[in-house]
Chains A and B, each alone.
Chain A
Amino acid sequence: MTSAMTYAQLKAAQPDRYSQAADEFQQVIDAFEQDAVDLNQKVYQPIEYAWTGAAATAALAFIGASVDAYNATLEYMKRFVGLMRAGAEGIGDAQAYLRAAETLAANNGWTLTDDGLPQPVVPPTVHNRAMVEQLWQAMAANPEFAEFQDLLNRALSTAQTVDDQISAALKDPEQFGQGKNWEADAGRAASAVSALDTALEKAEIPAKGTSAAEVAAWWSALGQNPALQVQLIKDQPALIGALNGLPAMVRDKANRIVLADDITADNNLVHSLSAQQQQVEAEINELVSTGYATRPAGKLGELPTAQFQALKNQLQSIETRLSGTSGQLAALDSLQSQLDQTTVKWGPSGAETPLPPMYLLGFDTNASGHAIVACGDPDTAKNVAVYVPGLGTSSNSTHFSFDVQHTENMTMQADQDTGAQDNATILWLGYNAPQISPSEHALDVAGTQDATDAVPALTSFVSSLRTVNQNISNLTLVGHSYGSLVVGETASASHLPVNNIVLLGSPGVSVNKASQLNIDPSHVWAGAAAGDPVAKLGAFGVSPTSSDFGAHVINVNASGGLSMGTHGEYFDTYGNLNHDSGYSSLSNIASIMTGQYSNVTSGSPTGDGVIQGAEQGIINSGF
Chain B
Amino acid sequence: MVVSRAADGGSGYQVDAQNLQALAVLADQIGQDAHALAAKASAALEGGALGGLQIGTALASAESGWSGQLVRLAGEASDIGSRLSSNATAYTQTESSVLESMMLRLGGPELAL
Contacts and interface: CB of A to CB of B under 8 A. Distances in A.
B104 interface: no
B23 to A, nearest CB: 5
Interface string B17-46: 001100100110010011001001101110
A94 to B, nearest CB: 10
Interface residues of B, number: 54
A342 B53 CA distance: 47
A21 B23 contact: no
Contacts of B11: 53-54
B27 A43 contact: yes
A58 B87 CA distance: 12
A42 B15 CA distance: 16
Contact of A50 (B15, B44, B65): B15
A77 interface: yes
A51 B20 contact: yes
Interface string B46-71: 01101111111111011001100110
Contact of A58 (B7, B51, B112): B112
Interface stretch (A59-67, A255-263, A301-309): A59-67
Contact of B111 (A58, A66, A167): A58
B106 interface: yes
A179 B19 contact: no
Contact of B20 (A14, A16, A50, A66): A50
A52 B41 contact: no
Given A13-B53, A21-B48, A66-B77, A39 B30 contact: yes
B113 A59 contact: yes
A566 interface: no
B100 interface: no
Given A17-B48, A62-B113, A73-B73, A35 B55 contact: no
A219 interface: no
A75 interface: no
A51 B55 contact: no
Given A59-B83, A73-B73, A51 B16 contact: yes
A62 B86 CA distance: 15
A17 B50 contact: yes
Interface stretch (A22-30, A516-524, A547-555): A22-30
Given A43-B30, A51-B15, A52-B13, A24 B80 contact: no
A35 B34 contact: yes
A12 interface: yes
Contacts of A34: 33
Contacts of A73: 69-70, 73
A21 B76 contact: no
Contact of B54 (A24, A27, A164): A164
A47 B13 contact: no
B40 to A, nearest CB: 5
Contact of B55 (A39, A62, A66, A170): A170
Contacts of A42: 23, 26
A69 interface: yes
A53 B15 contact: yes
Contacts of A164: 54
Nearest to B46: A21
B80 to A, nearest CB: 6
A15 interface: yes
A43 B54 CA distance: 42
Nearest to B67: A28
Contacts of A63: 27, 80, 113
Nearest to B4: A52
Given A17-B48, A46-B19, A91 B53 contact: yes
A512 B75 CA distance: 80
Contact of B56 (A17, A22, A50): A17
B48 to A, nearest CB: 3
B19 A167 contact: no
A9 B53 contact: yes
A56 interface: yes
A50 B19 contact: yes
A9 B56 CA distance: 13
Nearest to B31: A35
Given A18-B48, A21-B44, A25-B41, A80 B13 contact: no
Given A14-B51, A17-B51, A69-B73, 17 more contacts: A17-B52, A20-B48, A21-B44, A42-B23, A43-B26, A43-B27, A50-B15, A53-B14, A53-B15, A54-B13, A55-B109, A56-B15, A59-B87, A59-B112, A91-B53, A177-B65, A178-B62
Interface of B: 7, 11-16, 19-20, 23, 26-27, 30, 33-34, 37, 40-41, 43-45, 47-48, 50-59, 61-62, 65-66, 69-70, 73, 76-77, 80, 83-84, 87, 102, 106, 108-113
19 contacts: A13-B51, A18-B55, A21-B44, A21-B51, A22-B48, A24-B44, A25-B44, A28-B70, A31-B37, A35-B30, A39-B77, A43-B27, A51-B15, A53-B13, A69-B73, A73-B70, A84-B48, A171-B61, A179-B65
